[in-house]
Chain A
Amino acid sequence: MKEETRRKIVTLTIGALSIFLFISLWDLYALNVNSPYLPRPQQTFATLISMLIHNERDFSGLLISQHISASLVRVFYGFGLAAIIAIPIGLLSGWSWYIETATSTIVEIIRPIPPFAWIPFAIYFFKDPMNSIFIVFIGAFFPILLSTVVSVKSIDPFIIDAAKTLGAGRFNLFRKVIIPASTLGIMTGLRIGLGVGWMCVVAAELVGVKGGGLGLYIILMSSVGRFENVFAGMILIGALGFLMVMSMTYIERRLSKWAGTL
């Protein structure tokens, strides 16, 4: 218990120091460059605090709270959809050689295509809000899928053999062994997928979205040269992504305890 507390303190201290170091380097570089295209951290944080406290309305008529909630909703749906589709496919692909063979080629062809490249397709085939959700979905889908496949394939064969010896049928084996044993790998994939989903939100909001979004906010402010606001928007995306990934890590830890009891 004492060791755990000590580790937490060390983790927090190192985390705080690395943030401090990062901000110091940013400030140093911004001072050196002396360009409005790279505002100093104090200007950026002042803008960030002001826009959050006053819930500022930008020239497109939208409040910052509307931008935040719109992006959250997009990430939530895009990521959720990716998880719902990728996990079952990944479980089956990892479990069955035939399914993996059938899916792996197409997955490896589509996976390297950057989410930006899907924008014209999304504009043409989907209406708002599905067009932007689709871009987040594409970004989150493959990390989840691949982690799931790998986690199933890396299950210790002894466990599977033991379950078979004890009389487990295919369905029970899948439900009671494969799924629980691959949970941690799936969670890792979800965590990575969520991070990529946030990365895609700016691209997603380029397709033209109703109700704003933080990506749209960044584009708006960048177009008119208000780079303090651009950086404030970037920090907001980073902070929200970080909070969501941390929540995921927390769930992952809980699940790891549960998986460990299996």
Chain B
Amino acid sequence: MKNEGPQRSLGGFDLSQRRKVWTLIAVTVAVIVVGGLVVAFHAGLFAPSPKAATVRVGWLTGDLHQLAYFVAKNRTVGGGKSFFEKYNLNLTDAAPGGYINGPTMMDAFAAGKVDIGLLGSTPAITKHLNAQVNTTIVGQCNEIGSALITKHPISNLNDLKGKTIATPGPGTIQYFLLLRLAEKEGVGIGNFTLIQLAPGDMRVAMEAGRIDAFIAWEPYCADAVVNNVGVIYKNSSDIWPNHLCCIVAVHKTFAVNNPDIVINFLKAHIEATSWINKAKASGLGSADYNLLIDIAVNFTGRSPAVIERALGNINYKFDVDDRFMGCFIDFTYKLIQYGIVAPNRIEALGYRDVYEFANKYVSMSYLTEAKRT
């Protein structure tokens, strides 16, 4: 009565025949699935979605470095018409709420979901070299503007050995700056537990005692300091003076097909950046300064006190000058040295050396045209 099962009573021959039938079915299904995938691929099912009529702009969640984008969208700043409207640009956010970090946005570029993006320079360099993401850099957003925050004051990085440090993710400029700081202070990066957190969650994680330090973009560093959750160990300008930070990247195919849109976007970006710098200089109490704080508060969800402190740690700059290019080249060398960029990628992509890569990857023509007209 024990369950020998009717299958066994069928005998070896039947079982073997049945197996053959099942094998045949499995192979047929596999062939159909694979064939279907190949057909679907050729039919364009997996191809990037067709370009929308509007320009899809990527930006990083709550990143104060990218304030110019929100200023350029603001109608009050432009006197009733935003800078983007002034230049007849019809924009949409590629990701509502923004991207969590630059590497993620570069993946979206690769998938054809972003036309123009504001992101850190290191992910733009790294993913272009390692994964051939077809982008080009056309302008700058800011210099400096990050910091390493610790829960308690420390005298050097050795004090954080064995501790947990949060970053916005490997491949971000903040992760890169942490590697640079560890190198400068002679501490192996393997001595820390590095975790990835959204910068907006870092203060809370530090308050809860889950992390001992974090490196992030503003205003999240100022947020921790103003709320007495952490202290600044190093501003990023102390780690790498005047370092390059966020840039304006464009999908290369989009740039080639729509040069006027790129130039107009840069015109709005230039006006917005200039307005930010004027508003900052006009100081507390001026209408423009108050409006600037309002825009930043709405975009980041942080208090005016936090924003005011954070703005002091950022240099807003749109130009691509010698300092930009020098830093860009130094960054690339360091990314190769740290093993973030795979060996021989410069040569594999047909660039003679890092200098040629820098000169070709950064397209000056759009910005030159935007500044001229």
| Chain B 177-217 interface 0/1 with A at a Cβ cutoff of 8 Å (1 = within) | 00100000000111101111100000001001010000000
Interface locus among A82-90, A104-112, A203-211? A203-211
Selected contact of A219 from candidates B172, B179, B196, CB within 8 Å: B196
Interface locus among B34-42, B289-297, B365-373? B34-42
Selected contact of A33 from candidates B41, B131, B133, B179, CB within 8 Å: B41
Contact A223 B37 (CB under 8 A): no
Selected contact of B208 from candidates A25, A124, A207, CB within 8 Å: A124
Q: Please, which residue of chain A has its CB at the minimum distance from the CB of B133? A: A225
Asked whether A158 is an interface residue with its Cβ less than 8 Å from the other chain, the reply is: yes
Q: Which A residues lie within 8 Å of B106 (CB)?
A: 225
Per the 8 Å Cβ criterion, residues 234-251 of A in contact with B are: none
| Chain A 4-20 interface 0/1 with B at a Cβ cutoff of 8 Å (1 = within) | 00000000001000000
Given the complex of chains A and B, what is the CA–CA distance between A62 and B179 in angstroms? 13
Interface locus among A53-61, A94-102, A164-172? A53-61
Q: Which A residues lie within 8 Å of B62 (CB)?
A: none
| Chain B 113-149 interface 0/1 with A at a Cβ cutoff of 8 Å (1 = within) | 0000000000000110111110000000000000000
Given the complex of chains A and B, what is the CA–CA distance between A114 and B133 in angstroms? 32
How many chain A residues touch B (CB < 8 A): the figure is 35
Contact A59 B110 (CB under 8 A): no
Q: How far is the CB of A84 from chain B (nearest CB, A)?
A: 27
Q: Which A residues lie within 8 Å of B17 (CB)?
A: none
Contact A36 B37 (CB under 8 A): no
Selected contact of B179 from candidates A59, A206, A207, CB within 8 Å: A59
Q: Which A residues lie within 8 Å of B103 (CB)?
A: 222-225
Contact B131 A225 (CB under 8 A): yes
Q: Please, which residue of chain B has its CB at the minimum distance from the CB of A21? A: B30
Q: How far is the CB of A162 from chain B (nearest CB, A)?
A: 10
Given the complex of chains A and B, what is the CA–CA distance between A209 and B192 in angstroms? 10
Per DSSP, chain B at the interface is mixed
Contact B131 A209 (CB under 8 A): no
Q: Please, which residue of chain A has its CB at the minimum distance from the CB of B209? A: A127
Q: Please, which residue of chain B has its CB at the minimum distance from the CB of A3? A: B12
> Given A60-B189, A225-B103, A226-B342, is A208 in contact with B164 using a C-beta cutoff of 8 Å?
yes
Contact B169 A223 (CB under 8 A): yes
Contact A209 B193 (CB under 8 A): yes
> Given A59-B339, A124-B210, A225-B133, is A207 in contact with B171 using a C-beta cutoff of 8 Å?
no
Asked whether A177 is an interface residue with its Cβ less than 8 Å from the other chain, the reply is: no
Chain B CB within 10 A, most for which of A58, A222, A225? A225
Q: How far is the CB of A136 from chain B (nearest CB, A)?
A: 17
Asked whether A121 is an interface residue with its Cβ less than 8 Å from the other chain, the reply is: no
Q: Which A residues lie within 8 Å of B98 (CB)?
A: none
Q: Please, which residue of chain A has its CB at the minimum distance from the CB of B189? A: A61
Asked whether B78 is an interface residue with its Cβ less than 8 Å from the other chain, the reply is: no
Q: Please, which residue of chain B has its CB at the minimum distance from the CB of A56? A: B339
Contact A58 B193 (CB under 8 A): no
Asked whether B338 is an interface residue with its Cβ less than 8 Å from the other chain, the reply is: yes
Q: Which B residues lie within 8 Å of A225 (CB)?
A: 103, 106, 126-127, 129-131, 133, 171
Asked whether A130 is an interface residue with its Cβ less than 8 Å from the other chain, the reply is: no
Selected contact of A208 from candidates B133, B189, B196, CB within 8 Å: B196
Selected contact of B127 from candidates A29, A207, A224, CB within 8 Å: A224
Q: Which A residues lie within 8 Å of B171 (CB)?
A: 223-225
Taking beta carbons and an 8 Å cutoff, which residues of B are in contact with A? 1-3, 23, 30, 34, 37-38, 41, 103, 106, 110, 126-127, 129-133, 164, 166, 169-172, 179, 188-191, 193-197, 205, 208, 210, 338-342
20 contacts between A and B (CB under 8 A): A29-B37, A36-B131, A36-B132, A37-B131, A59-B338, A59-B339, A60-B189, A60-B194, A61-B190, A128-B164, A159-B2, A219-B170, A220-B170, A224-B103, A224-B170, A225-B103, A225-B133, A226-B342, A227-B130, A228-B342
